[in-house]
C-alpha cells in the first residue's frame, strides 16, 4: 500500500474528495502504524511516513468515508516513568469524527495480565475494540445559522437523547431513542409548546459502557465516560454507525434550529474512559500518556485524579488543551451546536491544585473567536482542593447554581430562617456574580437535574431508593432536601397527593419567575418518576426513560408549565439583564423591588431572621427596569406582586397601598392551577387568604 507524506494539519482523518489525510500527535512514539480494516475485519497496516512538529502523518489516495481505522503506537513502555506505549493495543484516533462498534471487555484490552499488574500483556486487542471511521464532511445545512438567543431570554431543557423518546407512541419504533427521534415533529412540537429555547443534551460524545456495569447487566446511561471528543455517540444513531451518525446528528440540529431551539452539549473534558493505572488501553494512554493525562508528580505510575473517575486530563500540557479547543471549535463550526455545559468544569482550571481563574484554559476560551461567542456553562464542582466553586468562574461564563437548587428546596419545605438566602437566589445571586461584573444571567437556576431526584420524586420521597443500581443503596446523594409530604412513595391519600401537586407547581413557578436562566429537567413537566432512585446513571431502561403513557395523567402540570414559560417570555421584569438595586425609582416613592410582610409593610431586619416558616410578598416594579431594548428604548413592563406561603397553615395577606398598584389581576395560583375560582381583581389594601404551601402571582397593568 503506497502512502503519500500528507500534511500535519488538521489532526484526525480528513477526507478531501480524492483521499484521506491521517495525522496524530505523539511526542513519545518511535513509530506509528495506521491500521485499516475491511468489511470482514481484515486488518492492513502501513507506517505513517512523516513526523513534523510531534505530529505523525500520511495521505492515502482513494480512501474515503466509511473506512474503518485505528493506530498502533510503537514506543517506550515504562509505567513507572508514565510511559505506556504498546503496539499490541489497537488505539482509537483522539480526533475520530465517528466511532463504530462497541467494546467487548476482556484481558486483551489491558496492558497487564489480570492478577499481575506488574506484567506485560502483548495480546492483540483489535478483536475486542471499537474502530475509528473516516466521515464525509459535506452536508447541506440549507442556510442554517446560529440562533444566538440571549441568555436572559433563554429557557433551558436538560434532556437525554435516548430517554426522551424511547416510549413515545408517536415516534416510529426504529428511531426511538436516537438523534432522529429527538428531531421528530412530535418531539419538536412538545418542546415548542413548553416554550423552551434550548435543549441541553446529556453527553453525546462517544462514550464507553464500564466493565463493572456490564458485569452486573447494566449500562452507562448518562454517558459521563467519554472516549471520543469529536464523535457523536453511535448508540444514539438509527441509520448506521459507519459515519451515518454524524449526518443524523447534523440533521437533528438543523431541525431544532428551524424550530427556534438551540442545542447545548453537556461535555466531559475532565477525564476519559481509560480510568486509573489499572484501566484499559483504548486511545490516549497508549498514544502519549504523559501528554494527555495528569500524573502524580513524584510517582508518574499513578494518575492525579480530581474527578473521582481514576484520571484527569492534563490541562497543563499544550496538546491536551489543543484537543479540547479543537473539539469545541469542531462542534460549533461543523456540527452547529450553540453552547456547552462543562461537566466538573473546575478540574479544567486546576493547573496545579486550586482552581485558578487565570488558568490557560480560561484564557484560550476567552481569546477564541469561535468558542467565546457560544453559551458556556460550568458545573462548578469536582473532588479537588476547595470543592464547590460556585461563583468562582471568570466573566463570559455562566454556572449551574447549586445554591439556588438547595435554597428553593429548603424554602418550600418550610425550613426556618431560609428567607434571606432565598431572597439572594431569587434575585439572581448578586452575592456570587456582581463583584465580577457579571449579571443575573450568570446564574443557571435549577431545582432538579439528571443527578438527583426528579421533581415528582422530590415531593414523594424522604430517602433515596437506589437498590436497582446494585450498590446496596450506598450510591447517590443522601441529603436531598426532599419531603414526602406524609407518605413515602406512591399513595392513594388524596390530601398527600394534592399537596405534592401544589408543591410541584410552587417550585416550577419559583424557578421560572426568578432572575437568571431557568433550566427544567426533562420530564418534570410530565410527572416523570424514577421511583425514588436519585442516581440512575446505570439504568438504561424504563426506570429512567420518560413514560409517555403515564405522562398523560399530568396534563394539568404540563399546561401549567407552558403558561409559566409564556408568562416569563411576555414580561421582561422576570428576565432583567441587571440586578435589582432595592432603591426608589426616579419620580416615584416605590423601589424597583420590595420585600413585604404579610401585613403589607416592608420587611425589617428582624423579619429576615425569624425562626419560622417563610411567608413573604415580593413586589417587582415594571417601571424600574434599567435595561434597553435592541433599538435603545427604555423597557417598561407591568408590575407584579408575588405572595408566597411556605408555611403549614393558611395565611392572610394584606396587599400594599395604591403606590404599588391600583388594579391587580391574578395570573398564577398554585392552589388553583386552572384559575377556576380565581377570577378576582384584588384591590390595594385588600386582604387575600392564601392556603398553606401555595403561591399567588398578581399583575398590575395600571399604576
Q: Which residues pair with 73 in a beta bridge?
A: 32
Q: Would you place residue 18 in the very low, low, confident or very high pLDDT band (cuts 50, 70, 90)?
A: very high
pLDDT for residue 410 = 96
pLDDT for residue 392 = 86
pLDDT for residue 589 = 66
Q: Which three cell numbers stand for residue 372?
A: 467565546
Query: What percentage of the chain exceeds 90 in pLDDT?
Result: 87
Q: Would you place residue 562 in the very low, low, confident or very high pLDDT band (cuts 50, 70, 90)?
A: very high
Q: DSSP assignment of 527-569, as one string? A: T---TT-S--TT--STTTS--HHHHGGGHHHHHHHHHHHHHHH
Phi and psi at residue 64, to the nearest 5°: -135, -165
- 51 pLDDT exceeds 80? yes
Whether 648 maps to a domain, the answer reads yes
Of 104, 74, 69, 78, nearest to 89 (Cα)?
Answer: 74
Where among 109, 134, 159 does a domain terminate? 134
Whether 453 maps to a domain, the answer reads no
User: How many separate domains does the chain show?
Assistant: 2
- CATH number, domain of 50, equals 2.60.40.10
Q: Give the SS3 label for residue 69.
A: strand
Q: Which three cell numbers stand for residue 203?
A: 453527553
* 3-state SS record for 399-425: EEEHHHHHHHHHHHHCCCCCHHHHHHH
Query: Which segments of 361-505 are extended strands (E)?
Result: 375-378, 398-401, 443-445
* Over residues 601-605, mean pLDDT: 92
Q: DSSP assignment of 173-187, as one string? A: GGGTTSHHHHTSHHH
How far apart CA 210 and CA 212 sit, in angstroms, is: 5
Whether 225 maps to a domain, the answer reads no
DSSP structure class, residue 188: H
pLDDT tens column, 629-684: 889 899 999 999 999 999 999 999 999 999 999 999 999 999 999 988 766 789 99
Q: Would you place residue 586 in the very low, low, confident or very high pLDDT band (cuts 50, 70, 90)?
A: low
Of 587 and 657, which is predicted with more confidence? Answer: 657
Q: Would you place residue 570 in the very low, low, confident or very high pLDDT band (cuts 50, 70, 90)?
A: very high
Known catalytic residues are 343, 379
pLDDT tens column, 102-112: 999 999 999 99
- 189 pLDDT exceeds 80? yes
* Over residues 109-121, mean pLDDT: 96
pTM equals 0.97
Whether 446 contacts 405, CB under 8 Å = yes
Of 395 and 565, which is predicted with more confidence? Answer: 565
Q: Is the peptide bond between 507 and the residue preceding it cis, with omega within 30 degrees of 0?
A: no
Where among 99, 134, 169 does a domain terminate? 134
pLDDT for residue 352 = 63
pLDDT tens column, 344-399: 888 888 766 666 666 889 999 999 999 999 999 999 887 666 667 888 898 999 99
- On average, the pLDDT of the chain sits at 94
Q: Give the SS3 label for residue 373.
A: helix
For residue 83, count CB atoms less than 10 angstroms from its CB and return exposed for 0-12, middle for 13-18, buried for 19 or more: middle
6 to 37, 50, 96, 333: CA distances (angstroms): 20, 8, 17, 24
Whether 442 maps to a domain, the answer reads no
How far apart CA 283 and CA 590 sit, in angstroms, is: 63
Give the domain extent around 616.
582-700
- 488 pLDDT exceeds 80? yes
pLDDT for residue 307 = 87
Whether 259 maps to a domain, the answer reads no
- CATH number, domain of 612, equals 2.60.40.1180
- 270 pLDDT exceeds 80? yes
Where among 134, 161, 192 does a domain terminate? 134
Residues in the chain, total = 703
β-strands 156-159, 375-378 pairing? unpaired
Whether 513 maps to a domain, the answer reads no
Whether 683 maps to a domain, the answer reads yes
Coarse DSSP helix, strand, coil percentages of the chain, rounded to the nearest 5 percent: 25, 20, 50
How far apart CA 634 and CA 128 sit, in angstroms, is: 64
Q: Which residue has the cell 486509573?
A: 276
Phi and psi at residue 553, to the nearest 5°: -75, -5
Q: Give the SS3 label for residue 39.
A: coil
Q: DSSP assignment of 610-672, as one string? A: -SS--EEEEEE-GGG---B-TTSPBP---EEEEEEE-SSS-EEEE---TTT-SEEEEEEETTS
Q: Which residue has the cell 437506589?
A: 466
How far apart CA 38 and CA 42 sit, in angstroms, is: 5
Of 671, 676, 665, 668, nearest to 692 (Cα)?
Answer: 671
For residue 114, count CB atoms less than 10 angstroms from its CB and return exposed for 0-12, middle for 13-18, buried for 19 or more: exposed
Q: Which residues pair with 52 in a beta bridge?
A: 55
Give the CA dihedral 305, 306, 311, 316, nearest 10 degrees.
Answer: -100
Contacts of 320 (CB under 8 A, 6+ apart): 291, 292, 313, 314
Amino acid at each position: 500500500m503506497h502512502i503519500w507524506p500528507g500534511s500535519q494539519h488538521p489532526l484526525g482523518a480528513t477526507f478531501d474528495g480524492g483521499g484521506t489525510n491521517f495525522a496524530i500527535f505523539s511526542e513519545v512514539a518511535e513509530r506509528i502504524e495506521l491500521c485499516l480494516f475491511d468489511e470482514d475485519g481484515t486488518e492492513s497496516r502501513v507506517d505513517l511516513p512523516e513526523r513534523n512538529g510531534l505530529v505523525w502523518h500520511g495521505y492515502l489516495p482513494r480512501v474515503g468515508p466509511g473506512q474503518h481505522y485505528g493506530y498502533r503506537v510503537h514506543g517506550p513502555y515504562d509505567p513507572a516513568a508514565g510511559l505506556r506505549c504498546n503496539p499490541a493495543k489497537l488505539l482509537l484516533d483522539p480526533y475520530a469524527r465517528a466511532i463504530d462498534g462497541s467494546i467487548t471487555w476482556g484481558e486483551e484490552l489491558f496492558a497487564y495480565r489480570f492478577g499481575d499488574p506488574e506484567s506485560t500483556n502483548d495480546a492483540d486487542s483489535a478483536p475486542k475494540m471499537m474502530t475509528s471511521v473516516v466521515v464525509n464532511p459535506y452536508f447541506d445545512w440549507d442556510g442554517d445559522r446560529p440562533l444566538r438567543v440571549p441568555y436572559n431570554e433563554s429557557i433551558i431543557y436538560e434532556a437525554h437523547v435516548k430517554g426522551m423518546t424511547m416510549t413515545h407512541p408517536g415516534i416510529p419504533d426504529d428511531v426511538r431513542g436516537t438523534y432522529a427521534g429527538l428531531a421528530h415533529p412530535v418531539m419538536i412540537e412538545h418542546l415548542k409548546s413548553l416554550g423552551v429555547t434550548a435543549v441541553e443534551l446529556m453527553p453525546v460524545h462517544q462514550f464507553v459502557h464500564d466493565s463493572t456495569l456490564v458485569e452486573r447487566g447494566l449500562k452507562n446511561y448518562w454517558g459521563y465516560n467519554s472516549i471520543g471528543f469529536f464523535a457523536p455517540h453511535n448508540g444514539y444513531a438509527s441509520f448506521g454507525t459507519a459515519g451515518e451518525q454524524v449526518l443524523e446528528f447534523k440533521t437533528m440540529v438543523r431541525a431544532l434550529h428551524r424550530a427556534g431551539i438551540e442545542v447545548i452539549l453537556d461535555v466531559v473534558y475532565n477525564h476519559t474512559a481509560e480510568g486509573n493505572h489499572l484501566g484499559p488501553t483504548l486511545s490516549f494512554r497508549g498514544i502519549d500518556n504523559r501528554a494527555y493525562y495528569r500524573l502524580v508528580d513524584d510517582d508518574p505510575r499513578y494518575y492525579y485524579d480530581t474527578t473521582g473517575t481514576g484520571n484527569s486530563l492534563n490541562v497543563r500540557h499544550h496538546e491536551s488543551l489543543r484537543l479540547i479547543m479543537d473539539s469545541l471549535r469542531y462542534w460549533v463550526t461543523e456540527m452547529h451546536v450553540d453552547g456547552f455545559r462543562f461537566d466538573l468544569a473546575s478540574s479544567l482550571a486546576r493547573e496545579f491544585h486550586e482552581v485558578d481563574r487565570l488558568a490557560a484554559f480560561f484564557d484560550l476560551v476567552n481569546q477564541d473567536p469561535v468558542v467565546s461567542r457560544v453559551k458556556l456553562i460550568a458545573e462548578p464542582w469536582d473532588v479537588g482542593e476547595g470543592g464547590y466553586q460556585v461563583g468562582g468562574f471568570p466573566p463570559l461564563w455562566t454556572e449551574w447554581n447549586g445554591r439556588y437548587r438547595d435554597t428553593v428546596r429548603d424554602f418550600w419545605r418550610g425550613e426556618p430562617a431560609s428567607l434571606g438566602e432565598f431572597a439572594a437566589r431569587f434575585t439572581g445571586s448578586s452575592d456570587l456574580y456582581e463583584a465580577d461584573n457579571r449579571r443575573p444571567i450568570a446564574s443557571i437556576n435549577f431545582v432538579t437535574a439528571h443527578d438527583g431526584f426528579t421533581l415528582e420524586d422530590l415531593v414523594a420521597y424522604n430517602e433515596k431508593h437506589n437498590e436497582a443500581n446494585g450498590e446496596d443503596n450506598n450510591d447517590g446523594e443522601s441529603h436531598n432536601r426532599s419531603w414526602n409530604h406524609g407518605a413515602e412513595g406512591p399513595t392513594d391519600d388524596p390530601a398527600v397527593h394534592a399537596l405534592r401537586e401544589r408543591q410541584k407547581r410552587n417550585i416550577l413557578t419559583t424557578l421560572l419567575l426568578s432572575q437568571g436562566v431557568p433550566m427544567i429537567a426533562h420530564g418534570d413537566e410530565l410527572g416523570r418518576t424514577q421511583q425514588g432512585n436519585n442516581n440512575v446513571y446505570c439504568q438504561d431502561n424504563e426506570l429512567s426513560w420518560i413514560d409517555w403513557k403515564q405522562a398523560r395523567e399530568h396534563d394539568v402540570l404540563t399546561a401549567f408549565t407552558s403558561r409559566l414559560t409564556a408568562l416569563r417570555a411576555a414580561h421582561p421584569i422576570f428576565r432583567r439583564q441587571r440586578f435589582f438595586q432595592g432603591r426608589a425609582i426616579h419620580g416615584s416613592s416605590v423601589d424597583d423591588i420590595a420585600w413585604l410582610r404579610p401585613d403589607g409593610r416592608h420587611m425589617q431586619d428582624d423579619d429576615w431572621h425569624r425562626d419560622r416558616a417563610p411567608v413573604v410578598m415580593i413586589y417587582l416594579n415594571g417601571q424600574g427596569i434599567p435595561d434597553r431594548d435592541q433599538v435603545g428604548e427604555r423597557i417598561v413592563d407591568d408590575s407584579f406582586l408575588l405572595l408566597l406561603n411556605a408555611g403549614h397553615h393558611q395565611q392572610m395577606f394584606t396587599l400594599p397601598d395604591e403606590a404599588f398598584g391600583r388594579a391587580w389581576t391574578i395570573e398564577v395560583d398554585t392552589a388553583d392551577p386552572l384559575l377556576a375560582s380565581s377570577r378576582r381583581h384584588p384591590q390595594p389594601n385588600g386582604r387575600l387568604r392564601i392556603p398553606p404551601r401555595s403561591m399567588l402571582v398578581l399583575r398590575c397593568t395600571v399604576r
